[in-house]
């Protein structure tokens, strides 16, 4: 055996080994667990979902219709219930667009620019995830309440925040503002700045670049964040409970109204209003799945 053969044969064997290792495996080759283990894991997952999600959700609708459809409709049409529904929609209609503006601005700044204090901004965006909603509502009371830091000044100028719609909106915005920004930041970072730089080099202004290049690329992610933000805004309880005062017909939202009815032993009325929140959760889940499918399909097309 000459020297070339002695060198070539080990190299060829090594290359063949690497090729076999990189070759796609059959579908069943990755299944190393026994069948009983797979079925056990599936049974545990299904059982957990059944106990923790399906049964509680079903019980809400069972209790809501316990006295018939007539009582259900009358509980929803009751003036205080209609006021709570309207207040919930009003707060969400104000808080979500405000968070949309903040989320777009924050995500664009973090993903596209380098500036001093960038890490601090990212930390502040994550702050509501680590602070209890009750604590956030208490903070607003300490700031804007009658005996708070700015309370005397606001009272002297006839401005009232706590126990008003303004307080509900502020508390809701605090607990929901990370959702949109957190959906957009990774999308914008993944896209980089090449397209924006190309648009600017062709003479596009900053706003033109944003609305014609940046925004279309993150449209599905933006809708996804808005959907989650809206669902959280409508279902928020802890923060708005502190700043609302539980004033019927004025500052009660749907979750607060459910609590009041339940404490008054009006179980059918409480579950009737709760069923509307459950329907909202189901609609959000369906919308989330549709958006994930569209985002995955558009992503596969891009690749």
| CATH code for the domain in which residue 251 is found | 1.10.3720.10
Tens digit of each residue's pLDDT, the chain (303 residues): 444 444 445 445 544 554 455 555 554 445 577 888 888 999 999 999 899 888 888 888 888 888 888 888 888 888 999 999 999 999 999 999 999 999 888 888 888 888 888 888 888 888 888 888 898 889 899 999 888 889 888 888 888 888 889 999 999 999 998 888 888 888 888 877 788 778 888 888 777 888 888 888 888 888 888 888 888 898 888 889 899 888 888 888 999 999 999 898 888 889 999 998 888 888 887 877 777 777 666 655 554
In a domain, residue 35? The reply is no
Asked if residue 37 belongs to a domain, the reply is no
Query: Could you give the CA distance from residue 18 to residue 12 in angstroms, rounded to a whole number?
Result: 10
Residue 247 domain-assigned (yes or no): yes
Q: What is the pLDDT of residue 298?
A: 60
**Within-domain flag for 57:** no
Alpha-carbon span 218 to 241, nearest angstrom: 34
- Cβ burial 43-61 (10 Å sphere, 16+ → b, else e): eeeeeeeeeeeeeeeeebb
CA 268: distance to chain centroid? 29
Could you report the per-residue pLDDT of 165-195, keeping only the tens digit for each? 999 999 999 999 888 888 888 888 887 778 8
The helix (run of H) or strand (run of E) holding residue 83 is helix 79-112
The Cα–Cα gap between 117 and 137 comes to 27
Domain assignment of residue 273, yes or no: yes
Q: Which contacts qualify for 56-61: CB closer than 8 Å, 24 or more apart?
A: 57/278, 60/271, 60/274, 60/275, 60/278, 61/271, 61/275, 61/278
pLDDT of residue 250: 85
Q: Which candidate, 209, 256, 239, places its Cα nearest to that of 84?
A: 256
Give the containing element (helix H, strand E) for 82: helix 79-112
Q: What is the DSSP string of 156-202?
A: HTT---TTSHHHHHHHHHHHHTHHHHHHHHHHHHHH-SHHHHHHHHT
Report if residue 153 sits inside a domain. Answer: yes
Domain assignment of residue 254, given as a range = 68-294
Domain count of the fold of the chain: 1
Residue 250 DSSP code: T
């Amino acid at each position: 055996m000459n020297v070339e053969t002695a060198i070539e044969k080990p190299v060829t064997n090594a290359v063949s080994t690497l090729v076999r290792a990189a070759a796609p495996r059959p579908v069943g080759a990755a299944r190393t667990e026994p069948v009983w283990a797979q079925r056990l894991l599936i049974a545990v997952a299904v059982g957990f979902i059944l106990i923790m999600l399906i049964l509680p959700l079903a019980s809400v609708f069972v209790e809501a219709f316990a006295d018939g459809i007539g009582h259900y409709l009358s509980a929803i049409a009751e003036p205080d219930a209609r006021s709570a529904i309207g207040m919930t929609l009003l707060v969400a209609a104000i808080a979500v667009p405000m968070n949309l503006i903040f989320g777009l601005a924050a995500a664009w700044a973090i993903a596209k620019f380098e500036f001093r204090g960038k890490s601090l901004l990212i930390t502040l965006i994550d702050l509501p995830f680590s602070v209890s909603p009750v604590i956030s509502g208490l903070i607003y009371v300490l700031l804007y309440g009658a005996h708070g830091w700015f309370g005397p000044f606001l009272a002297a100028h006839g401005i009232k925040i706590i126990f008003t719609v303004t307080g509900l909106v502020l508390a809701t915005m605090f607990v929901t503002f990370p959702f949109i920004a957190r959906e957009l930041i990774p999308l914008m970072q993944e896209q980089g700045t090449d397209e924006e730089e190309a648009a600017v080099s062709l003479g596009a202004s900053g706003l033109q670049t944003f609305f014609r290049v940046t925004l279309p690329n993150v449209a599905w992610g933006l809708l996804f964040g808005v959907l989650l933000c809206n669902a959280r805004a409508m279902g928020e309880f802890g923060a708005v409970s502190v700043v609302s005062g539980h004033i019927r017909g004025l500052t009660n939202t749907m979750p607060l109204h459910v609590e009041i009815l339940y404490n008054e032993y009006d179980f059918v009325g409480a579950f009737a209003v709760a069923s509307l929140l459950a329907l909202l959760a189901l609609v959000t889940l369906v919308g989330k799945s549709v958006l994930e499918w569209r985002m995955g399909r558009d992503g596969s097309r891009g690749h």
